[in-house]
């Protein structure tokens, strides 16, 4: 299975950052896939930068009266080949449910986009011993029956943007659990405070096929060592 280094720029990036997209493309080592989930406003302008692109959300409908939303086919038309769905920030900020995420994923598949579906427990849920129950329910509820190119990202909410990273054993437990529940060929990414300094340790964990990187994907100098660690893993 080809490994995948994915960057999630979240609500960051303007035309001034297109040079960073090109720099990531240039720094990408051979042998791994690299994917940047840019703000939708940059997708079309980055389509010739030499790196695969993803959206960060899409609507479940193909078109229509949904002010401010984007259809999966619009993202594909702008150059995306994948879309992140069900990120914990969207689950929290927009009240996205597993049902809604599954409907979006079905729309993404219909438009030819690979869905990158995020799951992950909060700190309360982990401390309550419910991490596997939570990610298992999110997975069962949000992954469609048919999803070519499916990627699942395990992103513990308490590790996102905090500098806190689960132990390799904690990541291994969740990834082994997910590996037993996803279709064959599904890549499993870890996300949450991945940096150049911890990437090699994370990529050595069984059933970790790459990373979904937030903050450290914004600067090519931070993302390059993560890509290199993945290529070397
Ligand atoms: O949410 C994330 C990627 O989707 C992770 O963000 P950080 O790498 O900034 O912790």
Q: Structural domain boundaries of the chain?
A: 4-232
Give the 3-state secondary structure of 104-144. Answer: HHHHHHHCCCEEEEEECCCHHHHHCCCHHHHHHHHHHHHCC
Instruction: Consult the annotation and say whether 136 binds a ligand.
Output: no
Give the rounded percent of residues in the chain with a pLDDT score beyond 90. Answer: 100
Place domain 4-232 in its CATH homologous superfamily. Aldolase class I (3.20.20.70)
The number of angstroms, rounded, from the C-alpha of 229 to the middle of its chain's C-alpha atoms is 18
Q: For residue 24, what pLDDT is reported?
A: 98
Q: How much is the mean pLDDT over the chain?
A: 98
User: Looking at residues 106-115, what average pLDDT do you find?
Assistant: 98
Instruction: Consult the annotation and say whether 215 binds a ligand.
Output: yes
Q: How far apart (Å, rounded) are the C-alpha atoms in residues 173 and 55?
A: 29
Query: In b/e form, how buried is each residue of 141-171, taking b as 16+ CB within 10 angstroms?
Result: ebbbeebebbbbbbbbbbbbeeeebbeeeeb
Q: For residue 111, what pLDDT is reported?
A: 98
User: Looking at residues 60-72, what average pLDDT do you find?
Assistant: 98
List pLDDT tens digits, range 29-63.
Answer: 999 999 999 999 999 999 999 999 999 999 999 99
In this structure, the number of other CB atoms found within 10 A of the CB of residue 128 comes to 12
Q: Which atom of ligand 1 is nearest to the CA of 195?
A: 8
* Confidence band of 89 (pLDDT split at 50, 70, 90): very high
List pLDDT tens digits, range 132-177.
Answer: 999 999 999 999 999 999 999 999 999 999 999 999 999 999 999 9
User: Looking at residues 96-114, what average pLDDT do you find?
Assistant: 98
In this structure, the number of other CB atoms found within 10 A of the CB of residue 222 comes to 16
- Cβ atoms 223, 24 nearer than 8 A: yes
Residue 155 appears among annotated catalytic residues: yes
**CA distances in angstroms from 140 to 107, 200, 207, listed in the order given:** 17, 30, 19
How far does residue 34's CA lie from ligand 1's centre (Å)? 16
Torsional sign, CA 7, 47, 106, 66: positive
Residue 96 appears among annotated catalytic residues: no
pTM of the model: 0.98
């Amino acid at each position: 299975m080809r490994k995948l280094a994915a960057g999630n720029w979240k609500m960051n990036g303007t035309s001034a950052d297109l040079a960073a997209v090109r720099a990531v493309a240039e720094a990408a080592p051979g042998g791994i896939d690299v994917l940047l989930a840019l703000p939708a406003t940059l997708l079309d302008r980055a389509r010739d930068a030499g790196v695969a692109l993803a959206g960060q959300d899409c609507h479940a409908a193909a078109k229509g009266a949904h002010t401010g939303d984007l259809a999966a086919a619009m993202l594909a038309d702008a150059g995306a080949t994948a879309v992140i769905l069900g990120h914990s920030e969207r689950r929290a900020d927009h009240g996205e449910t597993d049902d809604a995420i599954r409907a979006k994923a079905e729309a993404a598949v219909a438009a030819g986009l690979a869905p990158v579906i995020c799951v992950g427990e909060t700190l309360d849920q982990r401390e309550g011993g419910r991490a596997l129950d939570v990610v298992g329910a999110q997975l069962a509820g949000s992954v469609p029956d048919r999803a070519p190119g499916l990627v699942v990202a395990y992103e513990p909410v308490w590790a996102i943007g905090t500098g806190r990273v689960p132990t390799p054993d904690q990541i291994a437990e969740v990834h082994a659990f997910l590996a037993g529940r996803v279709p064959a060929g599904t890549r499993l990414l870890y996300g949450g405070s991945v940096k150049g300094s911890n990437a090699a340790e994370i990529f050595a964990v069984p059933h970790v096929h790459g990373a979904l990187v937030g903050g450290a994907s914004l600067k090519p100098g931070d993302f390059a060592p993560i890509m290199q660690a993945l290529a070397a893993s």
